[in-house]
Every structure is written in C-alpha cells, then in structure tokens.
Chain A
Amino acid sequence: MMTYIQIAIGVLGALGIAVATWKAPRMTSILFWAAVATILIGSAGVMNVPGAVDSNLVWLSLSFPLVWVLLQFWCYWDASKWRVAGGMIGICVVSGIIVFASSPLG
C-alpha cells in the first residue's frame, strides 16, 4: 500500500520530469527518457521474443548499452528537439503498453 508521502514524491517527480522536458527537451531526453526507453524496450523484448528466457536475458544485457547509447546519440542528432522528446516518450509509451499487456515471465 502506498503512503501519502510516496504518492506525493511520485507526483512531484512526474511534475519535475514534465517541467524539465518542457524547458530542456534534449537534455531531459538524454539523461532520463533514453534510459527509461531502453529499460522498457529491453523488458518488452524479453517478454515477447521467442526462445529461452535465460538466453534472451543475456542478449538483453548485451544490447542494453548499445540501445542506450544510440538513443542518446539520436537526442543530439535530430534537428528538432521536440521530435526527440516526442519520439522518446512515444517509445516509452508503446514499450510500456507491450510490457503491461504481455503475460509475466516465470
């Protein structure tokens, strides 16, 4: 059960990220959204790619740095800062939906 303090911290954190994304979309994308997107892409992959779970987890571990770095690189490569932030949030939303719509492993 979540306490009021935890809920308050969560709401404040979400607000902080929203303001940071509005004020500095590229910087927030490279520091925050790229990491979240990588974790969600990896989790969605592990849950849905066919094959042994242990092998998939190893490949996830190996691909994690590459995906993260490529997403970070894209943050400064794209000419539009809003396309970067929108793209990152879009990846997070789509991957998140896949994760929560998939059956849990184990």
Chain B
Amino acid sequence: MDKARHKRNYDLHAWSGVTLGIFLFIVCFTGSVAVFALQETRVWEDPAKRIEATTEPAPLEPAFREWVATQDARGEIEFLSVRWPQGGTPYYVTMADVHLDGSDEHDFVVQNWHPETLEPITTREASMSSWLVRFHIDLKWPSALGGSQVGRFIVGLAGILLLLAILTGIVAHTKLTKETFTLRLDRSVRLKWQDSHKVIGLWGTPFHVMIGFTGAVLGIVTLLAPVVAVLAFQGDIQALFAAVQGEQIEAAGVPAEMISIDTIGAMVHPEAGNLPARINIQHYGDANAVYQVYWPATEKLTTYHGMKMSGVTGEMLAMTSLESGSSGAARVSAAVGPLHFGTFGGVALKYLWFFLGLSLSVITALGTMMWIERRQHGNEGQRSDRFYNGLSRLNVGICTGLAVATAGLFVHNLIFWGDEAGRGIAIAWAYFGVWAAAIAYAFLRPGAYMANRELIAMTGALLMVAAVLNQLMTELPNGGIGSHTATLVIDLTLIVFGVIALVIAKALPAERPVKTKRKARAPRREADVAATVPAE
C-alpha cells in the first residue's frame, strides 16, 4: 500500500474510531450489561418476581376467560397474549390491547398471575433492567426529538462506525501475524496501550464484526423500512407490512368456542420437544380466531419456534422453526437478535458475550486514550497541555463514570424509598446524576490516572455493596440465602466483578509512569501542514 493511501486509511480509522470513540464506548459498554438485563437481573431487582419456578402451573383457563370478559366489557379487544411461567418471568402474564368504547384511545392491560395460586402479582412498572436494555437499544431518546426510532437509528450508526473502524483498522495493520502476538507490557504507556488495542482487537475480530453487523441491522432497519416504502412501495407502508407479514385474517363475526389456553400450554413442540412460552391471539371468541404459539428456542440461533393455528379447530395454518418451514432469509433474520444478545447458549454464553463486549469497550477507550497520549506526550499535539489534560479527564469521566453509574443503579434499586410511581424518574436521575458526578470527580482529582483508578475502585465497591445489601434487605423465597438461583447468580456475579474491579484499581498507577514532560510545540505553519497532506 502506498504511503498516501495508508495515511488516508489511518485518518479514516481515527475519524471513525477516535472522534466518535466515546460514543462507541457508551454503546458497547451498555450492550455488555444488557446481556444480563434482558432476563437475569429482572428477577434479581424485583422481590415480587422471586417465585420458585414450577413445572406444573395451575390451570389458567377459568381465570383467563373471566379476565377476558372483564376487558371485553370495556371495549373491543384487538390483541391478546398469554405467557406461561418461565425463566425471567416465573408466573403467568396476560396482556390485552383494548380499544375503549366511545373513544379513540387504547388501553394496554397487563396482568401477572401466581403460577400456583393464580393470585394477582404486582410487579414494578419501571425497572432498572428495562432502563439498562433501553439505554443500549435507543439511548432512551426523548420523544420530543423523534423518540425510540431515532434513538435506535443512532445506536445502529454505532454499528456502522464499528464496522468501518474494524475494516480500516485491519487494513492499517501491515504486520498482522506479528502484531497478533506482540504484547509489550513492560514498555512505555503508549506501547502498552497500542499493543493491547491491537491484540484484543485482532483476537476479538470475529465477535466484533458480528456485534457491529447485527447491531447495525437491528438499529437502522427501523428507519430504513419507511424509506424503502416511500421508494419501492410509493409511500404505501401498509403494502410494505402486507408484503412482509402476509395478508391478515379478518374476523368472521360469528361467535365460536375457543380451544383452552391450558390445552395449548401442554402442547409439546414436535421438533424441539418443549412446552410453549407464549401465545398471541387475534379475534378471540370468533370463528376466525388465530392462535400464534411460540416455543422457546434457547439453544438455537433463533428466538422462538412458531406455529399459527386456528383458535377454534386447531388446524395448523403455518409453522416456522429453524429446521423447517421458513425461508433462508427468515432464518438469517431470526438469528440476528439472538446473535447480538447471546441468548442461544445459556448463562455461560452470556458471560462470554459480556466479556467480549467489555473487550470491545476497552479497545474503543484505549483508542481514544492513545490518540490523546500521542498529542499530550508525543509529537502530534498542537494544543496546550491543559486542553489535552481536560480531554483525558473527560474521557475517564465518561467511560469509567458510566461503569460507576451502572453499578450505582444496582444499589439505587435496593435503597429507593419513594413512591413506586416515581421509580422510573428516580432511575433516570440516579443514572445520569451519578454519571455527571463521576465526570465532575474526574476533573477535581489531581490527574486522570488517579481519577480513573478511584472510579474503578468505586465501581467495584458499589457492586459488592449491592450484593450484600440484596442479601440483607430483600425477602428471599423460603427465607434463605441462595434459595432462588437467578438471584444468587447475580449476587455472586456482582461480588466477583466487584473484586475484579478492586484488583484492577489497585494494579493501575495513580499517575503517568514517566518523568519527562512534553514541551509545548509551536503551531505548524500552513505551508508545513500542506506539505504533509498527500497529493491527490
């Protein structure tokens, strides 16, 4: 590769990876946490959900019919859904979208039922886990600025940036084999960071490419679909949905007896051999009622195996699974979500995804740190020491501060004392408040190195405090430590990660380990700058 092309490629790598490195870090770090927040921490955070899983739940049909009749009296039920007790929700969940009588408004009703007593269970509406997942998916983008769709698109752009940074990063490495095995931890700060950036990046390339690609697909499709509809369907979004989902079955207007929910709940999937996780119902009580039954596919590269059937006769209308009944496009599409969130291989795979996601966060942070280091203590900087010092502190405050804010949310979940209706707002205040305080803290400490070290120690301490507080403050089933597996797993994970964070903090230096300081350089003359830019 000629020198000019190499420089252009490096510039693009720096532009995509460093200029927007802090944004990439936020998306990668929150994504690592979201791996557990999809299921495991949901049980941990809400004592009402800590119900021992049962393999033989009580029949729901009589209570379900009564509940449907109650909703039906309020208006037209446009959609019904039932979830059977499983993993993160060890209780029945029923949902209804009711078009209220005499109004254009809809009411989406959710009811949780104890799996054995069928008593209503009141769970929290706002949750820490939802916050952590949503912040990764759409940055909790305010509705005044376009809402969730815009947020998802912006996060999807992070996937595009990541793919571009990986491609240009690989092209920039002219000695790939040598650099894959070079880690000089006893040399200067810059070499140590540079080697770590390259080694972690090169070894993790397959995962990083996959996570960038799937993230981009999940994010940008939300805004891409309307654009494609405008162009290919001449703005007819209904035609686009019909093309993707197929024609919808209309209600016949003839009352009919429905197949029992409990009968569906006992149906074993012919290929997967397990029981269903949920059912979506259209036109309940009508001769054209449609049941969409979903069986979990926890060890397959798809979220669910699906079956569409008549809710009256049980006649199968369509069946989709990874092995049969779906097109290649549908199979690849169904794999995107599980691949991105690591939901297809149990808890062990989630830990792997978590560590690989953290490694990606570390790479982006190292890239930004190297960029600053080269300018503050090398020959590339044209600004004052004060400027680069401030940039370094800002980088530490945002990146390590995000870890402190996330750990702080676990503690906040346990010590929140206000009205439950205000929990959602309190979560936002706690998250952004701690994050802002961490950024301010990074500017108040004598140096960025010390601030980084202390913020990592704070993260470790908060994680351990959360685990201990959980055991002391919350009521565990049967009154004993570890009587609920999911809760115990999260507590142990918090303690282990807390210890790891404290060990890392202890190992990190409190100040930059060099004696000489860079002399401020005079700004380059325009003629010199022009001479370094390759001719095109």
A43/B228 contact (C-beta < 8 A), A62-B333, A69-B160, A76-B9 known: yes
Q: Is B234 an interface residue (CB 8 A)?
A: yes
User: Inside 8 A of A53's CB, which chain B residues have their CB?
Assistant: 243-244
Contact call A61/B327, Cβ cutoff below 8 A: no
Taking CB as reference atom, which chain B residue is nearest A65? B216
Q: Is A106 an interface residue (CB 8 A)?
A: yes
User: Inside 8 A of B234's CB, which chain A residues have their CB?
Assistant: 104, 106
A52/B327 contact (C-beta < 8 A), A57-B244, A69-B164, A79-B536 known: yes
Q: Is A47 an interface residue (CB 8 A)?
A: yes
A39/B329 contact (C-beta < 8 A), A69-B164, A76-B8 known: no
Q: B15 → chain A, closest Cβ, in Å?
A: 9
Q: How far is the CA of A60 from the CA of B200 in the complex (A)?
A: 32
Contact call A55/B327, Cβ cutoff below 8 A: yes
Taking CB as reference atom, which chain B residue is nearest A63? B217
Taking CB as reference atom, which chain B residue is nearest A106? B239
Interface of chain B, main secondary structure: helix
User: Inside 8 A of A69's CB, which chain B residues have their CB?
Assistant: 160, 163-164, 167
Taking CB as reference atom, which chain B residue is nearest A61? B221
Taking CB as reference atom, which chain A residue is nearest B330? A58
- Contact of B333 (CB < 8 Å), options: A61, A81, A106: A61
Contact call B232/A77, Cβ cutoff below 8 A: no
Q: Is B227 an interface residue (CB 8 A)?
A: yes
In the complex, chain A residues 17-71 whose Cβ is within 8 Å of any chain B Cβ: 30, 39-40, 42-43, 46-47, 52-62, 64-66, 68-69
Taking CB as reference atom, which chain B residue is nearest A54? B244
A104/B233 contact (C-beta < 8 A), A69-B167, A77-B9 known: yes
Contact call B228/A55, Cβ cutoff below 8 A: no
Taking CB as reference atom, which chain A residue is nearest B238? A106
User: Inside 8 A of A60's CB, which chain B residues have their CB?
Assistant: 228
Contact call B160/A68, Cβ cutoff below 8 A: yes
Q: Is B213 an interface residue (CB 8 A)?
A: yes
Contact call B160/A43, Cβ cutoff below 8 A: no
User: Inside 8 A of B336's CB, which chain A residues have their CB?
Assistant: 62
User: Inside 8 A of A68's CB, which chain B residues have their CB?
Assistant: 160
Contact call B164/A73, Cβ cutoff below 8 A: yes
Q: How far is the CA of A58 from the CA of B8 in the complex (A)?
A: 34
Contact call B4/A79, Cβ cutoff below 8 A: yes
Q: Is A88 an interface residue (CB 8 A)?
A: no
Q: Is B41 an interface residue (CB 8 A)?
A: no
How many of A's residues come within 8 Å of B, CB to CB?
Answer: 35
Q: A103 → chain B, closest Cβ, in Å?
A: 10
- Contact of B217 (CB < 8 Å), options: A61, A75, A80, A106: A61
User: Inside 8 A of B240's CB, which chain A residues have their CB?
Assistant: 57, 106
Contact call A77/B8, Cβ cutoff below 8 A: yes
User: Inside 8 A of B332's CB, which chain A residues have their CB?
Assistant: 58, 62
Q: How far is the CA of A73 from the CA of B161 in the complex (A)?
A: 11
Q: B9 → chain A, closest Cβ, in Å?
A: 6
Contact call A106/B233, Cβ cutoff below 8 A: yes
- Contact of A76 (CB < 8 Å), options: B12, B220, B239, B328: B12
Q: A52 → chain B, closest Cβ, in Å?
A: 7
In the complex, chain B residues 147-177 whose Cβ is within 8 Å of any chain A Cβ: 159-160, 163-164, 167-168
In the complex, chain B residues 220-246 whose Cβ is within 8 Å of any chain A Cβ: 220-221, 224, 227-228, 231-234, 236, 239-240, 242-244, 246
Contact call A58/B220, Cβ cutoff below 8 A: no
Q: How far is the CA of A60 from the CA of B246 in the complex (A)?
A: 18
User: B315-356 CB contact bits vs A (8 Å, 1 = yes)?
Assistant: 000000000000111101100100000000000000000000
Q: How far is the CA of A79 from the CA of B242 in the complex (A)?
A: 45
In the complex, chain A residues 73-106 whose Cβ is within 8 Å of any chain B Cβ: 73, 75-77, 79-81, 99, 104-106
Q: How far is the CA of A99 from the CA of B240 in the complex (A)?
A: 16
A79/B5 contact (C-beta < 8 A), A54-B243, A106-B236 known: yes
Q: How far is the CA of A46 from the CA of B159 in the complex (A)?
A: 23
Q: How far is the CA of A55 from the CA of B217 in the complex (A)?
A: 15
Taking CB as reference atom, which chain B residue is nearest A104? B234
Q: Is B11 an interface residue (CB 8 A)?
A: yes
Q: A78 → chain B, closest Cβ, in Å?
A: 9
A46/B228 contact (C-beta < 8 A), A52-B327, A54-B244, A105-B233 known: yes
A55/B329 contact (C-beta < 8 A), A39-B224, A65-B220, A73-B167 known: yes
Contact call A54/B232, Cβ cutoff below 8 A: no
Q: B421 → chain A, closest Cβ, in Å?
A: 39
Q: B163 → chain A, closest Cβ, in Å?
A: 5
User: Inside 8 A of B216's CB, which chain A residues have their CB?
Assistant: 64-65
A39/B220 contact (C-beta < 8 A), A57-B243, A73-B12 known: no
Q: How far is the CA of A51 from the CA of B12 in the complex (A)?
A: 38
Residues on B facing A (Cβ under 8 Å): 4-5, 8-9, 11-12, 159-160, 163-164, 167-168, 212-213, 216-217, 220-221, 224, 227-228, 231-234, 236, 239-240, 242-244, 246, 327-330, 332-333, 336, 536
Could you write out 20 A-B pairs with CB less than 8 Å apart? A46-B228, A54-B243, A55-B327, A57-B240, A61-B217, A62-B333, A62-B336, A64-B221, A64-B224, A65-B212, A65-B220, A66-B163, A69-B160, A73-B168, A104-B233, A104-B234, A105-B233, A105-B243, A106-B236, A106-B239
Given A65-B216, A79-B5, 15 other A-B contacts at CB below 8 A? A43-B231, A46-B228, A53-B243, A55-B328, A55-B330, A57-B228, A58-B329, A58-B330, A64-B217, A65-B160, A65-B217, A69-B164, A72-B160, A73-B12, A105-B243
Interchain residue pairs A-B with the least CB separation, the first 5: A106-B239, A65-B216, A58-B329, A55-B329, A43-B231
Residues on A facing B (Cβ under 8 Å): 30, 39-40, 42-43, 46-47, 52-62, 64-66, 68-69, 72-73, 75-77, 79-81, 99, 104-106
